[in-house]
Amino acid sequence: PQVNPKNHAPDPPSEAMSASTSSRSKKDVGQPTLSEDGKLKCYQVHGRKFEVDAHYDVTKVVGYGAYGTVCAGVDTRTKVKVAIKKMAGVFDDLIDGKRILREIKVLTSVCHPNILKLRTALEPQDPAAFTDIYLVTTLLDADLNSIIRSKQRLIDDHVKYFMAQLLRAIKYIHSANIVHRDIKPSNLLVNANCDLVLCDFGLARTVDNNSLTGYVV
């Protein structure tokens, strides 16, 4: 990428969003069980196994659907709050498998404050026979779609600030010849400070400079 992410950073609006409005509802995941070797913690989330490295404490479920399950957690080594996304049965469908691989490749190749940061992918216990993938990313409070549908008051400064950050993200990925192809409010994550990041690169494509303008972002 050719764009310096520190240049032209917009000023945040003077009115922050309500933390109580932007925070996702908490759903307790209960106490984990520890693996025999002490390397893994296993939680039960919606009746299914949610298995993470032992240095992560999972605190609540923040998202659930066909795309996978997302839980909020804490890296106990650094005390950093993270989001942990489980994608189950990643080899069951070829198209879904390619989409997951594409997203991981994009997130590992970009670095920008308005792009969701992939902190790590958890290493499977059995590399020859695993079926689930766990991605650890930055944790934000909500997606923009839920904010728009809530009673949260959005003023013009909020809209301008969100748009400025979104345009920075688009300019950055386009400088790397990447097109997102699925930009919508539910793929824009925000927090109470009005920081915004673009996520879900499963439909993204890399293109050459000559064909970039022919794509819809």
Confidence of residue 209 (pLDDT cuts 50, 70, 90): low
Single pTM value for the model: 0.83
Binding site feature residues: 86
Decide yes or no: CATH 1.10.1740.10 for domain 142-214. Answer: no
**What's the CATH architecture for 24-138?**
2-Layer Sandwich (3.30)
pLDDT confidence of residue 68: 85
Q: Cα–Cα distance between 94 and 177 in angstroms, integer? A: 25
- Catalytically active residues are 182
User: What residue ranges do the domains of the chain occupy?
Assistant: 24-138, 142-214
pLDDT confidence of residue 2: 34
Q: Cα–Cα distance between 105 and 99 in angstroms, integer? A: 10
Q: Cα–Cα distance between 46 and 49 in angstroms, integer? A: 8
In the chain, what is the straight-line distance between the N-terminal and C-terminal CA atoms, in Å?
18
Strand residues in 35-187 grouped as ranges (E): 40-45, 48-53, 56-65, 68-75, 80-87, 118-121, 133-138, 142-143, 178-179
Q: Are 131 and 88 in contact (CB under 8 A)?
A: yes
Confidence of residue 141 (pLDDT cuts 50, 70, 90): very high
Confidence of residue 63 (pLDDT cuts 50, 70, 90): confident
Q: Cα–Cα distance between 8 and 171 in angstroms, integer? A: 12
Binding site feature residues for ATP: 86
**Per-residue DSSP letter, 202:** T
pLDDT confidence of residue 128: 87
- Residues 99-122: pLDDT tens digits? 899 999 999 999 999 999 999 999
